[in-house]
Amino acid sequence: MDFSKRRSVMVEEQMAGRGICSEAVLTALRRVPREAFVPDRLRAFAYDDAPLPIDGDQTISQPYIVALMIEALALTKADRVLEIGTGSGYAAAVLAEIAADVYTVERIETLATKAARRLADLGYANVHVLHADGTLGWHEHAPYEAIIVAAGAPEIPKTLKRQLNLGGRLVIPIGSDQRAQQLVRVTRTSEEDFETEELADVRFVPLVGEEGW
């Protein structure tokens, strides 16, 4: 199977064709082999525009949603990014193609271990993986210019907002229903003030932890 060709088609049709216009995001998606981040039995479906199951009853997100969330972060090459919900490591790899450093937190130990090994094997030396409660962020490396959360929260965790740099952006699905959320972007405009924008209706697995479900 020609994964390189399928990746190119995915980027042109599913991403650029549906409104993703950041060249940095499109270039990153062209470089990251999504087939390396899905279970072997599902590699043939790696470039379908759909979420796929991975270990721990979790999912690797739909490619378009990954692109939409990362584009909303408006990353630069100098940015330090915090990702909550490493999963298989796919989004972390895409982020690492754009930003300076990616700090990613996963609550399920087996996923964190496998993702760290996979990302290292693929040469992503600027991705750092932690097994911990993602709702509490990763304080040691804060503040971050961007935070992305790949699980649905009942409300925006206060700890994550505090770990944003001034002008930093947080993209997260929130909602009182664990089965459906609203994707929002939160921008820190001052020490105490935050601006929130609604981006899209989405469906993510629940964000489990001290400041989640």
Residues classed as catalytic: 61
24 three-class SS: helix
Residues 6+ apart with CB under 8 A from 177: none
| DSSP reduced 3-state for 141 | helix
Name beta bridge partners: 164: 144
In angstroms, rounded to a whole number, what is the distance separating the alpha carbons of residues 181 and 20?
21
Grouping H, G, I as helix, E, B as strand and the rest as coil, residue 105 is strand
Q: What are phi and psi of 134, to 5 degrees?
A: -65, -25
CB of 34 closer than 8 Å to CB of 7: yes
Strands 164-177 and 144-149: parallel
Q: Which of helix, strand or coil describes residue 44?
A: helix
Within 35-121, strands assigned E span 52-54, 58-60, 80-84, 101-106
